[in-house]
Amino acid sequence: MTKPRVVSGMRPTGQLHLGHLVGALKNWAALQERYDCFYFVADWHALTSEYASTGAITGYALDNVADWIAAGVDPERSTIFVQSLVPEHAELYLLLSMVVPVPWLERVPTYKEQQEQLTEKDLSTLGFLGYPLLQTADVAIYDGRFVPVGEDQVPHLELSREVVRRFNQFYGDVLVEAQPLLTPVPRLPGLDNRKMSKSYGNTIDLADDADAVLKKVKQMYTDPKRIRADIPGTVEGNPVFVYHDAFNPDTAEVDDLKTRYRAGTVGDVEVKTKLARAMNAMLEPMRERRREVMAKPDRLREMAIEGSRKARTIAHATMERVRDGVRLRY
Ligand code: TRP
Helix H or strand E segment including 64: helix 57-70
CATH number for the domain spanning 66: value is 3.40.50.620
pLDDT of residue 1: 67
Encoded amino acid at 38, one letter: F
- Asked, for residue 195, whether it belongs to a domain, the answer is no
The minimum-distance atom of ligand 1 relative to the CA of 144 is 14
Per-chain mean pLDDT for the chain? 96
Domain co-membership, 176 together with 136: yes
Mean pLDDT within 230-247: 95
Atom 8 of ligand 1: nearest residue by CA position: 9
The minimum-distance atom of ligand 1 relative to the CA of 135 is 9
- Asked, for residue 314, whether it belongs to a domain, the answer is yes
132 lines ligand 1 (CB under 6 A): no
Domain co-membership, 29 together with 149: yes
Domain co-membership, 172 together with 284: no
Query: Which burial class, exposed, middle or buried, applies to 55 when counting CB atoms under 10 A from its CB (0-12, 13-18, 19+)?
Result: exposed
Atom 15 of ligand 1: nearest residue by CA position: 10
Query: Cα–chain-centroid distance for residue 166?
Result: 28
Domain co-membership, 274 together with 316: no
d(CA 23, CA 187) in angstroms, rounded, equals 7
- In the predicted structure, residue 70 carries a pLDDT above the cut 90: yes
Domain co-membership, 243 together with 307: no
Give the range of the structural domain holding residue 212, as residue numbers without chain letter.
Answer: 208-290
9 lines ligand 1 (CB under 6 A): yes
The domain tally of the chain equals 2
> Cβ neighbours of residue 121 under 8 Å, at least 6 residues apart?
49, 52
Domain co-membership, 98 together with 56: yes
d(CA 62, CA 165) in angstroms, rounded, equals 35
Question: Using an 8 Å Cβ cutoff, are 300 and 62 in contact?
Answer: yes
178 lines ligand 1 (CB under 6 A): no
The minimum-distance atom of ligand 1 relative to the CA of 138 is 12
Distances in whole angstroms, Cα of residue 13 to Cα of each of 43, 66, 290: 8, 14, 18
Of residues 214, 283, 210, 275, the one with CA closest to residue 240 = 275
The minimum-distance atom of ligand 1 relative to the CA of 150 is 15
186-198 confidence digits (pLDDT tens)? 789 999 999 999 8
Q: Quickly list DSSP for 285-310.
A: HHHHHHHHHHT-HHHHHHHHHHHHHH
Domain co-membership, 37 together with 157: yes
138-196 confidence digits (pLDDT tens)? 999 999 999 999 888 999 999 999 999 999 999 999 999 999 998 877 789 999 999 99
Domain co-membership, 9 together with 135: yes
Mean pLDDT within 12-19: 96
Atom 3 of ligand 1: nearest residue by CA position: 10
Domain co-membership, 34 together with 106: yes
208 lines ligand 1 (CB under 6 A): no
- In the predicted structure, residue 199 carries a pLDDT above the cut 90: no
CATH number for the domain spanning 259: value is 1.10.240.10
